[in-house]
Structure 1
Amino acid sequence: MLKAVAPWFIRESYDNGITRIVEPHVHPLLRASIWHIRGERDLWIDAGTGIASLPTAFPELCEHDPLLVLTHAHVDHAGGADAFDQVFMHAFELDALPTVSSMPLDAATVVKRLGIGREPLGEELPEMLVDAVPPGPEVQAISGAGPTTPMRTIVEGDQIDLGDRTFTVRELPGHTPGSIGLHCRESRILVTGDALYEGTLIDDLPTSDGVAYAQTMRTILSLDIDLVLPGHGPPLAGMKAKVIAQRYLDTRPHSGE
């Protein structure tokens, strides 16, 4: 039986009104970065597994007409979307939602539903991909339901206006067909989801596309960015992110196709 721990989330604050939230008791494979960006509206980017509710844990970050943008539909990014009323995602990700919602977070189920191997990060996954649960009599190691409200689909060039700054949707496919990022030209910030982070990039899922992934890396290299908010891990300097992108192109055999 898993122990109950509180708080479930860890919160880290950065400059420019940026907050990173993580679930420390979730295995690194599924320990996604949940981003909140303060503006005249509250922008959330990705929602974690959904084992616990983000708005309940952080009501002060949901005071200004909050909206949630999902970079893609995997359980570690979309599981907690059922707690939000306004959810945006690329249309190509819609078919994946039934596969990842309300998922028991044991390795056998996650491997089967996502189509990954048992050693996606270089070592075999443990039996359970969480080592605790939040307190509560009914809490189990099962993800949230994912988006349960009507979603708005977004595509390349759409804009998310926070009042004091605007983020533009960038299509960053490869990890999944509808992976997207958000780019703020004024602040020179790029949110990448699982298109780029420091660590093992996963491009061999059944729905992955290595050629598209390589093009995504070229897109990232073309952008003027000082700060990257990745799908896993803390913020990266823009130059560090470009090193990761170039390394991908240099080491993947499909990158020249």
Structure 2
Amino acid sequence: MTETLPPPLRAAIVPVTPLQQNCTLLWCTRTMRGAFVDPGGDLPKLRAAMTHHGVTIEKIILTHGHIDHCGEAGTLARELGVPIEGPHEADRFWIARLDEDGRAYGIAGVVFEPDRWLIEGDQVTVGDLVLDVYHCPGHTPGHVVFHHPASKLALVGDVLFQGSIGRTDFPMGNHQHLLDAITTKLWPLGDDTAFVPGHGAMSNFGHERRHNPFVSDVAMAG
């Protein structure tokens, strides 16, 4: 009799804030220890998801410093007594203005200091899971992406979306840096790698290479 083992990683997407940002509850099925990725707000919804899935949160990890992705990360970290890892320190500029941006967007924003800034080549653990870190600037200068090779899953924040890419018209944005990050760091992870974007539906890199009007192979060859 063949025993079917559960996948090592499970994830639940919980849209938060008026901007409907995809906060991801990510956990290791063996240990049931997990992390919130980009808990921008709506903390009661996040606590309910954690309880529903029976996950013990051991850390918060962040892709970048925009208000909808990390406005209440510091508050949640204090409540749960857990560290914050990420983003890259180049996003200190954005985290330092969370209270100001919160007032502008009508979203709770609390300035915090991550326990660990991340750089290209770092790894982040969640239970027994090991996520690889890629620095993917352009949308913000300190944006990072998390990849779990065994699950063929990436959490890309606002770098890439189904059919679109991140905005680069914010302060310190850079369109060419974003295109370079997508094509040189994300595409090599494989066409069959699925990704959770910061907003909207999931997709995979192969679909975007064929159909994304901004970064498809055809668009980039033009």
TM-score, normalization by structure 1: 0.68
Equivalent of residue 91 in structure 1, options 75, 89, 92 = 89
Which residue is 1:100 aligned to? 98
Equivalent of residue 173 in structure 1, options 137, 142, 145 = 137
Query: Which of structure 1's runs of 4+ aligned residues deviate more than 6 A?
Result: 249-252
Provide the C-alpha distance between the structure 2 equivalents of 1:179 and 1:55, rounded to a whole number of angstroms: 23
Q: Does 1:68 align with 2:34?
A: no
Where 1:152 maps in the other structure, the secondary structure is coil
Q: Which moved more, 1:81-90 or 1:234-243?
A: 234-243
Give the CA RMSD over aligned residues. 2.9
Q: Which structure 2 segments of 5+ residues have no match?
A: 1-7
Q: Identity percentage over the alignment?
A: 23
Change over 3 Å in CA distance of 1:62–1:142 after alignment to 2: farther
Q: Does 1:36 align with 2:33?
A: no
Which residue is 2:122 aligned to? 158
Where 1:19 maps in the other structure, the secondary structure is strand
Where 2:182 maps in the other structure, the secondary structure is helix
Q: Does the 8 A contact of 2:22 with 2:199 survive in 1?
A: yes
Q: Does the 8 A contact of 2:194 with 2:205 survive in 1?
A: yes
Equivalent of residue 220 in structure 1, options 177, 183, 186 = 186
Q: What is the letter of the counterpart of residue 164 of structure 1? A: D
Which residue is 1:204 aligned to? 169
Where 2:147 maps in the other structure, the secondary structure is strand
Shift of 1:237: 2.7
Provide the C-alpha distance between the structure 2 equivalents of 1:239 and 1:143, rounded to a whole number of angstroms: 36
Equivalent of residue 58 in structure 1, options 49, 63, 72 = 49
Provide the C-alpha distance between the structure 2 equivalents of 1:210 and 1:103, rounded to a whole number of angstroms: 22
Q: Does 1:248 align with 2:215?
A: yes
Q: How does 1:89-128 map to 2 (within 5 A)?
A: 89=86, 90-101=88-99, 103-104=101-102, 109-110=104-105
Q: Does the 8 A contact of 1:228 with 1:238 survive in 2?
A: yes
Show CA shifts across 1:64-90 (max 9, x none). Answer: 342111110000001120211311121
Q: Which moved more, 1:160-169 or 1:78-87?
A: 160-169
Provide the C-alpha distance between the structure 2 equivalents of 1:197 and 1:77, rounded to a whole number of angstroms: 15
Q: What is the letter of the counterpart of residue 26 of structure 2? A: I
Which residue is 1:116 aligned to? none
Shift of 1:239: 1.8
Provide the C-alpha distance between the structure 1 equivalents of 2:123 and 2:172, rounded to a whole number of angstroms: 26
Count of aligned residue pairs for this structure pair? 202
Shift of 1:249: 6.3
Shift of 1:44: 1.5
Q: Does the 8 A contact of 1:172 with 1:179 survive in 2?
A: yes
Q: Which has the higher strand share?
A: 2
Equivalent of residue 47 in structure 1, options 39, 42, 45 = 39
Q: Does the 8 A contact of 1:102 with 1:145 survive in 2?
A: no
Provide the C-alpha distance between the structure 1 equivalents of 2:145 and 2:92, rounded to a whole number of angstroms: 16
Which residue is 1:235 aligned to? 202
Q: What is the letter of the counterpart of residue 95 of structure 1? A: F
Which residue is 1:145 aligned to? 110
Q: Which structure 1 segments of 5+ residues have no match?
A: 1-14, 111-140
Provide the C-alpha distance between the structure 1 equivalents of 2:114 and 2:125, rounded to a whole number of angstroms: 20
Change over 3 Å in CA distance of 1:52–1:36 after alignment to 2: closer
Shift of 1:177: 0.5
Change over 3 Å in CA distance of 1:199–1:238 after alignment to 2: closer
Larger relative contact order (C-alpha < 8 A, sep ≥ 6)?
Answer: 1
Provide the C-alpha distance between the structure 1 equivalents of 2:129 and 2:214, rounded to a whole number of angstroms: 31
